[in-house]
Chain A
Amino acid sequence: MTDATKAQTTPTLRSLLAESPILIAGLSILGFWLMVAILAPWIAPFRPNENLVPMALPGQRTPDGRLMLLGADHLGRDVLSRIIYGGRTVLTYAPLATLCAYSVGVTLGLIAGYKGRWIDELLSRFADLVLAFPVIVLYIVIIQKFGASGLNILIAVTLASSPGIMRLVRGVVLDLRTRAYVSAAQMRGESTFYILFVEILPNARGPLIVDACLRLGYVTITIGTLGFLGLGIPPPTPDWGSMINESRHFALVFPHMAVFPCLAVSSLVLGFNLIADGLRELSLAD
């Protein structure tokens, strides 16, 4: 937990590297994928939906002699280019979904923890209700009911993740609301909004940041899983999970079509997990 009275030090890159190589490794992986996603149109050898040579093996060339480093899928689309553009999809939806879940979860958690009484009781009951569902069933039911689209994935992830975030925030607030600076703000006559978001939230950030990184990895897995199950962002948008779904029938004969997207998604999740682990290590060391 972050202590308000503790002096904040800004660590330099060098001291960070010495203190937590894990954090640096995680940031490097994330940085790599961010660069790939941003620079996609310039570094991808082909357009993501261009039909070239169906079932091309890794290293095979197109008739006009251009190299397909990771081969092509069953529709002849270059696997490497689709992975590069798929990075854009996942790095848009995973942070966006996590952000939505956090906005809802943090707000509800602050209110439940600070106000207490019947509001807390009501919100906690609702959280219990959502958490009683196996997560995947929640996704399947929502997507079945409202259809597969980017927006519905955001809604589903927000609904499924915000109760967990709410509980976490509520727990921290229950501890923080008794602090002197909260009483001082109350005495000054600050609004509830000000107390929640300016006094309490900044002091609750420690555990929240670690949780957010873990959750980013988890949401990445979720979005991948939905794509893999055929419930994700509709084709032909390049998406790692959907790439695996479309090529799984050929996985026994042409594994390259599915293996490379799998490595991509695993490395990105590893990045998020390493960052979370590194941050936790640092906060424990403080």
Chain B
Amino acid sequence: MARLIAQRLFNSAVSIALVSIALFLIFELSPETVAADALGQYSTREQRDLWLAANGYFEPMHVRFLDWVRRCVTGEFGQSRLYNRPVSDVLGPRLAASATLAALFFSVLIPLSLGLGIAAGMREGSMLDRGISFASILTTSVPPFASAVLLTAIFVFWLGLLPGTSSMVDGFRWKELILPAAVLLLYDFGYLARITRASMADVMQTAYIRTAALKGLPDWWIIFRHALRNALIPPFTVIMLQINWLIGGVVVVEFFFAYKGFGSLILEASLTHDLFLLQACTAVSVLLAVGTQTIADIGYGLLNPRIRVAAAK
């Protein structure tokens, strides 16, 4: 098992190293545009050259690359032009805000989707099963930006029940988180429910479940003691891999509802050409994506005895 973990961690480290090289090439290959981004488009040629010299851009490539790695590792990404503060000061609160939204999202998504998926998978072909399949095709067809508009039209414009923006100007209010979380949920719950359903349906057809049923064990015992253990392995992996998707969803809802989180920050950084901020946001998002993927891989190994044993050999 230790070998499996070490192997996965090594793979992730290689991924991150490759990504950091790619990011360095994308962002810093032409110093001219970096200076233009940092000083604004009305800066003169002399100003840009002075700035480039002062920030070490005339150093050789490998020195600059090591410097970029150092900045990534220490978190000193430089000064945000947009906010006129160190990037890390801007990033912290925004990440916390998005984490709150993500926590609300997962705390509803997991019980809802797993519950529906298990219920549907227990009785394949039942009304509930067909209903969930149909609902999930429908909801995964509505892009998050569209459901944001549609839900706002219904709950804010027509019913007047919820606030239409989530800028939290009067301090933190849970009410303002409902619509952003609902948009993310609407798009995603059907997908996770379908994965759970398929996995549950597979497990219910295995010989050991039939054996348990023939022994006369009660249904709830079969489900909880025997079926769920194996049926929940694929959904676990999928939940961890949702982070990659969630970052995209979060950009959309935070932009639409003016929520001051990580997603809207990365978009602001891109649209205003705030390079250091964009570098930091990109680095953080890749770290999040690779990190959760690694956890998913390792967790899958821990949960699945077949992989655990194969890795031990």
Within 8 Å of chain A (Cβ to Cβ): is B126?
no
Count of B interface residues, CB-CB < 8 Å: 45
Assess whether A181 is interfacial by the CB under 8 Å rule: no
Shortest distance in angstroms between A212's beta carbon and chain B's nearest beta carbon? 17
- A135, A270, A274: the one contacting B248 at CB < 8 Å is A135
Inter-chain contacts of B289 with A (CB < 8 A): 132-134
- Whether A7 is near chain B, meaning CB under 8 Å from some CB there, is no
Q: Which residues of A contact B273 (CB under 8 A)?
A: 144
Residues on A with C-beta less than 8 A from B146 are 224, 244, 262-263, 265-266
Is A95 in contact with chain B by the CB < 8 A criterion?
no
Report A127-145 residues with CB < 8 Å from chain B CB: 128-129, 132-137, 140-141, 143-145
**Is B266's CB under 8 angstroms from A137's CB?**
yes
**Inter-subunit contact A269/B282 (CB<8 Å):** no
Residues of B contacting A128 with CB < 8 Å?
Answer: 15, 18
- Taking CB atoms and an 8 Å cut-off, the chain B residues in 125-152 that contact chain A are 137-138, 140-147, 149-150, 152
Which residue of chain B has the shortest Cβ distance to A267 in the bound complex?
B141
Q: Which of B26, B138, B256, B288 contacts A248 (CB 8 A)?
A: B256
Contact B143 A252 (CB under 8 A): no
In angstroms, Cα B245 to Cα A134, docked, is: 7
- Beyond A125-B18, A144-B273, A255-B157, whether A133 also contacts B143 by CB under 8 A is no
Would A259 and B150 count as touching, CB distance under 8 A?
yes
Q: Determine if B61 is an interface residue (Cβ-Cβ < 8 Å).
A: no
**B237 / chain A contacts, CB cutoff of 8 Å:** none
The answer, yes or no, to whether B156 is at the interface (CB within 8 Å) is yes
A241 on interface, CB distance cutoff 8 Å: yes
Is B153 an interface position by the 8 A CB rule?
Answer: yes
| Interface residue B276 (Cβ < 8 Å from any Cβ of A) | no
Q: Is the interface of B mostly helix, strand, loop or mixed?
A: helix
Q: Is the CB of B247 closer than 8 A to any CB of chain A?
A: yes
Interchain CB contact (< 8 A) of B26 among A141, A225, A251, A267: A141
Task: Find out whether the CB atom of A221 lies under 8 angstroms from the CB atom of B137.
Answer: no
- Tell whether, in the assembled complex, residue A129 and residue B252 are in contact, meaning their CB atoms are under 8 Å apart: no
Please classify the interface of chain A as helix (H, G, I), strand (E, B), loop, or mixed, using the class held by over half of its residues: helix
Residues of A within 8 A of B141 (CB): 217, 266-267, 269-270, 273
* A252 and B150 contacting across the interface, CB-CB below 8 Å: no
Cβ proximity bits B3-47 to A, threshold 8 Å, 1 near / 0 not:
000000000000110110010001000000000000000000000
Known A129-B15, A129-B19, A255-B157; contact A266-B142, beta-carbon cutoff 8 A: yes
**Is residue A229 contacting chain B, with contact meaning CB distance below 8 A?**
yes
Residues of A close to B230: CB separation below 8 A: none
Inter-chain CA distance A193–B243, complex, in Å, is 39
Q: Which of A140, A228, A259, A267 contacts B153 (CB 8 A)?
A: A259
Q: Tell whether B169 is near chain A: CB-to-CB under 8 Å.
A: no
Residue of A nearest to B19 (CB): A132
Chain B nearest CB, measured from A215 CB (Å): 13
> Given the complex, which residues of A lie within 8 Å of B192, measured CB to CB?
none
- Closest residue of chain A to B263 (Cβ to Cβ) is A136
Residues of B within 8 A of A206 (CB): none
Chain A residues with Cβ below 8 Å from B247 are: 134, 136-137
Q: How far, in Å, is A266 (CB) from chain B's closest CB?
A: 4
Question: Does A141 contact B248, Cβ atoms closer than 8 Å?
Answer: no
Q: Type the 1/0 row for A215-243, where 1 means its CB is closer than 8 Å to any CB of B.
A: 00100010011001111000000000100
A256 to chain B, nearest CB (A): 9
Q: How far is the CA of A155 from the CA of B233 in the complex (A)?
A: 36
Contact A134-B270, Cβ < 8 Å, known A145-B26, A273-B141: no
Judge whether A135 and B150 touch: CB under 8 Å: no
The minimal Cβ–Cβ distance linking A131 to chain B, given in whole angstroms, is: 8
Known: A248-B149, A258-B149. A141 touches B270 (CB 8 A): yes
**Alpha-carbon distance A262/B140, docked complex (angstroms):** 14
Question: What is the CA–CA distance of A259 and B18 in the complex, to the nearest angstrom?
Answer: 42
Cα distance A265–B145 in the bound complex, in angstroms:
10
A78 on the interface (CB 8 Å rule)?
Answer: no
Q: Is the CB of B157 within 8 A of A252?
A: yes
In this assembly, does A73 line the interface, its C-beta being within 8 Å of a C-beta of chain B? no
Q: Which of A133, A230, A270 contacts B137 (CB 8 A)?
A: A270
B156 and A252 contacting across the interface, CB-CB below 8 Å: yes
Decide: A136 near B251, CB < 8 A? Known: A128-B15, A229-B267.
yes
Q: Which of A132, A225, A269 contacts B252 (CB 8 A)?
A: A225
At the interface, yes or no: B105 with Cβ under 8 Å from chain A? no
Which B residues are CB-close (under 8 A) to A246?
Answer: none
* B-side contacts of A241, CB under 8 Å: 145
B178 at the A interface (CB under 8 A): no
From B26, B244, B251, contact of A229 by CB (8 A): B251
Known: A224-B145, A228-B256. 15 other contacts (CB 8 A): A128-B18, A134-B248, A137-B281, A137-B286, A140-B266, A143-B270, A225-B143, A228-B252, A229-B252, A241-B145, A251-B157, A255-B152, A259-B149, A266-B141, A273-B141
A sample of 22 inter-chain contacts (CB < 8 A) reads: A125-B18, A129-B18, A129-B19, A132-B15, A132-B16, A132-B289, A133-B289, A135-B244, A135-B248, A141-B278, A225-B144, A228-B255, A230-B271, A244-B145, A248-B256, A251-B153, A251-B164, A259-B150, A263-B146, A266-B143, A273-B141, A274-B137
5 residue pairs, one from A and one from B, having the closest CB atoms: A136-B248, A262-B146, A270-B141, A255-B153, A134-B247
